[in-house]
Amino acid sequence: MRLTRMATATACVLALAAGSFAVTSPAQAEPAPPKVARTLMETFATTGKADFWVRLSDKADLAPARKINGRTARGEEVVERLQATAADSQEPLRDLLKAEGVKSTAYWATNAVYVKGASEALARKIAGMKGVEEIRPPKTYAIPEPIRAKALSSAVQGIAWGVSNINADDVWARTGRRGEDIVVANVDSGVQFDHPALVKSYRGNNGDGTFTHDHNWIDPLGNCPTAAPCDRHGHGTHTMGTMAGDDGAGTQIGVAPGVKWIAGVGCPDGSCPEEALVRSSQWMLAPTDLSGRNPDVSKRPHIVNNSWGSDPSNDPMFEDIQLAWAASGIMGIWSNGNSGAACRTSGAPGSRTINYSVGAYDANNKIAGFSSRGSGQDGAVKPDISAPGVQILSSLPGNGYAAWDGTSMAAPHVSGAVALLWSARPEYARDIDGTRLLLDLSAIDTDDTSCGGTAADNNVYGEGRLDALALVQAGTTGTATLTGRVSDAATEQPVAGATVALTGPMSRTATVGADAAYTFTLAAGDYQLKVTAFGYQPTTRTVTLTKENTLTHDIALAPTERVNLTGTVADGSGLGRPLGAKIIADDGAGHRWSAEADPGTGGYTLPLLPATTYTVSYTSTVPGYDPATRQVAMGDAGQRLDMGLTVSLACTAAGYHVTRAGSTQSFDGSKQPRGWTVTNVELDIPNYDYQPGWVFSDRGGRGNHTGGKGGFAIVDSLRSGKGHIQNSYLTSPSYDLGRRTKTMLEFAHDLRPAINSTTSVDLSVDGGRTWTTVWSAKGYPGAAGPATQVIPLPQAAGQRNVKFRLHYLGQNSGWWAVDDAFIGDRACAVAG
C-alpha cells in the first residue's frame, strides 16, 4: 500500500528535495536563513526547540563501484565511499553539535545528520556553515489501510492466484529453481519471523529450532517487545509472504519460496517516521548485529521490496540512498500508489525515473480502480509494469492468512519474479539495467492509452502484465537487437507508415515513421518478420537473433499493381506554354502519391492503384499561377488528364500584364478627397476616445510604403495614444459600373496589424443603403508593404450605384495605409 502523509508532515523530503525558503513570523527578530525550511521556523516560533534534519551537499562518487564484479568487494566500495564523504563533510557539524551538548545521529547512506531538541539559534548557526544544503523538520508517512478481506485462521491449500497468473509455478517446474541463493528484504511494518509460511525461508533460522537475528533484522525505533522480528500492523508480513511464503504443507503464497529473507521496520504500527525509513534503508547496504555493530556488506540483500511511498508526487525521496542501493547491486522494487483511477496519480519514490514501480490488476487481468497512473517524473511512463494486486492471499501475524488489495500486494510479485530470474540466471544478479530491460521485454502488452503512452507501454499498465516464465526464458536466451529500414523496391525511397510485425519468442508490432526505420530489442531466437504497407505487397522473412548481437535487416517492398494517370500541365490563360508542377493524388484515406511534371514538356506520370478514386492537386513550380484540383476515378486501365493552370489575380506570371478600365483614387493630397467620407464610430467605453481614424497626412512620419507614390490614406493606431480606440470607416463615392463585366477592387497597402486589430472591405451596390463584407483580415500576419490586394467583385458588374468602404478597428494596434484604390474592369492579359 502507498503511504500517505500524516497531518504533521509538512517538510520537504530528505534526499534530493528542492531548496527550502523561510518567512518571518512575529516571534522572529530577523529573517530566517534561506536554507532553513519555513515550517521549521514556524515550529520554533511556537515550541522554542525542535528536531530537524541537516542535509549536506557533498555526494560520494559511486560510479567506480559499478565496475567491480565481486559482490562483496562492490558493496564494500560503495559503503567506504559513502562513509568517507559523510565523515569529511559532517565533521565540523558534529563538532558543533557536541560543543552545544545537542544529541544527534549521523547518517552516511544519505549525507545528513538528525538533530534532536535544538534551538532556533543553533539552526541559524548551522545554516551559515559551509556545505549545508538544507535544514528541515522530519516527516512521517503512514501506510493507508489496505482493503482487507476477513482474516483466515488456518492455511488455504493450493497456489495463490497471483503466483499462477504470472506463471511462477511454471518457472519452478521448468527450471527447478524457486529463488535459491537469493536474499530478499522489505522495508515495511515488520515480519512475523516464525509464521508457518515464512519461518523456513527466514535467513535467521539456524535449522535446529534456534534463530540468529543479527544481520537479519533491524528494528530502528525499538517497536518490537523483544529482539526477535515482529509485525504489529500486518502489512510487512503480508508483502513478505507474497515474495517468500510456503508452509510446506500445500499453502503456496510466495512467488519465490526458495529465497531467504531479512527485513527492516520502516513503518512501525503503520506509521513511517523518516528516521526509521532512513535507518532501515541504510542498514540494507551493510547489515549489522542487533547492537548496530559489526556491519557486513556480504549479508546485504539482493532485492528490497518497498510497498510504501508518498501521495501523488515526484519528490526525490531518499534518492541518494536508492542510487547507493543500485550502485551496490541491490534492486529496489516500488509500488506505484493507490490513488487511481485518475491520471498523474503516481507517487514517489516509484514515480521517479531511477526506480522500478508496479501497478495492480485483478484476476481478470484488468487494472484495479485504485491503481495509480502516470505519467511520472519528467513525463516518464509509470508504472513500469503491472502485477496481481487484488484479493491477494498472503500471510498475517498470528499464523493467519488474508486476501488484501493494493499496489503494495503487486510489488512483491515483481520482487519475487526478479528473485526467480537471478536464481535461474545468476549472470543477471546485480545487473539492474539488464533486469529492467528483461522485465520490460517479457511483459504482456496490455493496451490502455487513457492516460497517455502507447498500446505497448502506457501510463495504466506500464510495459504490460508481469510474466515470470517469459522473464526467465528471456534471461536464458539473452537479448538481441533487430534494426532495419523499409523501402520501395522500385524507387528505393522510404515507405513511411509501413507496419513491421515480429512473432517468435516475443511478439512485437511497430509502425515506422518518415525515415521508415525500425528497431526492436528482444529475447534472442528465431522470428517471423512480416512487413505490410498500403499499396505494397506483404513481405515475410525469417530472422535469427543471437544473444547480445545486433542484426540489421532492410526490407524492400514491391509495389502492388498500378495503373498510370498521365497528362500534361500547361498555362491555361493564353500562352499555353508547358509548366513544371507538383502533382499529388490523395485517396482520402491517408494515402498520398506524388509526381513532378517535366518543366520542358509539362508531362507527368502518376502510378496509382486501380479501382480507387483520388483527389489530384496540381501546383505550379513556376510562380504566378493558381493551384487546381480534380477528382479522378481510376479503373483497371490508365487514364489521361491534361491540366491548364490559370494565372493568379496578382498577375505576376511572366509574359502577362494587368489591364484596367475604371476609376483610381491616388490620395495624393493631404486632405480628404472629394466625394470620400470618413466616419468614426464612438464606442461606449468610458475614458477612451475614438479619434483620429482615417487621415490623409503622414502625422506619424512613416512614409509611403504601400507601393504607391506621394500621399496616402492611413489609420495610425499605434501612434494615436493609449486612450484612443479607432473604429473608423473610409467610404468611397458612388461609381457607375453599368458597362463593367470583370469588376474588381485593387489597392496598394501597408498593413501592420496587432493581435487586437481588424481590417475589412465592405461593398454596397445600392448606394450605401446595405453593405456586404468582401474581404477581411484580423490580427497577424498582415501585409507589410509594398503589397497589393485584389478583390473580385462579380456582384458589382453591371451595377450603376456602387460604393466600397475600408474599415479599421483597433486600439494602440499598428496601422493600415492605403493608396491607389482602383475599381472597375481588371484583367490579366498576355503582354503584347
* Residues tagged active-site: 188, 235, 408
Unique residue bearing C-alpha cell 541537516: 54
Bridge partners, residue 583, by sequence: 595, 618
Q: Are 163 and 255 in contact (CB under 8 A)?
A: yes
Strand partners, 303: 184, 331
How large is the angle between the packed helices 71-100 and 120-127, nearest 10 degrees? Answer: 120
* DSSP code of residue 35: T
Q: How far apart are CA 73 and CA 726, in angstroms?
A: 80
- Copy the grid coordinates of residue 779: 490580427
Angle at 262 between CA 256 and CA 265, to 5 degrees: 120
Burial tier of 164 (Cβ tally within 10 Å: 0-12, 13-18, 19+): middle
Sign for the CA dihedral angle at 457, 459, 465, 471 comes to: positive
Q: How far, CA to CA in Å, does 501 sit from each of 440, 471, 525, 792? A: 18, 21, 15, 55
Q: Are strands 147-148 and 217-218 parallel, antiparallel or unpaired?
A: unpaired
Half-sphere exposure of 562 (CA within 13 A, CB side): 15
- Residue 661: beta bridge partners? 825
Of 318, 235, 237, the residue nearest 274 (C-alpha): 318
The answer to whether the CB of 746 falls within 8 A of the CB of 790 is: yes
Read off the amino acid at residue 14. Answer: L
Cell of residue 524, nine digits: 534472442
- The grid coordinates of residue 458 equal 502506457
Rg over CA atoms, the chain: 39
508-511 and 499-503 strand pairing: antiparallel
**Residue among 38, 423, 375 at smallest CA distance from 255:** 423
Nearest of 199, 207, 268 to residue 235 by alpha carbon: 268
The DSSP string of 128-181 is: TSTTEEEEE---EEEPPPPEEPPPBSS---EE-HHHHHTTHHHHHHHH--SSTT
CA proximity to 242, closest of 313, 108, 333, 330: 333
What is the rounded (10 degree) CA torsion for 330, 331, 336, 338?
A: -60
d(CA 654, CA 620): 13
**DSSP calls for 237-274:** HHHHHHHH-B-SSSEE--S-TTSEEEEEESSGGGEEEH
Q: Which residue bears the cell 493467519?
A: 400
**Amino acid occupying residue 573:** S
**Considering Cα of 70, then 72, then 77, then 78, what sign does the dihedral take?**
positive
SS3 (DSSP) at 81: helix
* CA-based end-to-end distance of the chain: 87
Exposed (0-12), middle (13-18) or buried (19+): which is 798, by Cβ within 10 Å? middle
Give SS3 for 116.
Answer: strand
Q: What is the 3-state secondary structure (H, E, C) of 401-465?
A: EEEEECHHHHHHHHHHHHHHHHHHCHHHCCCHHHHHHHHHHHCECCCCCCCCECCCCECCCECCE
Cis peptide, bond prior to residue 781, ω within 30 of zero: yes
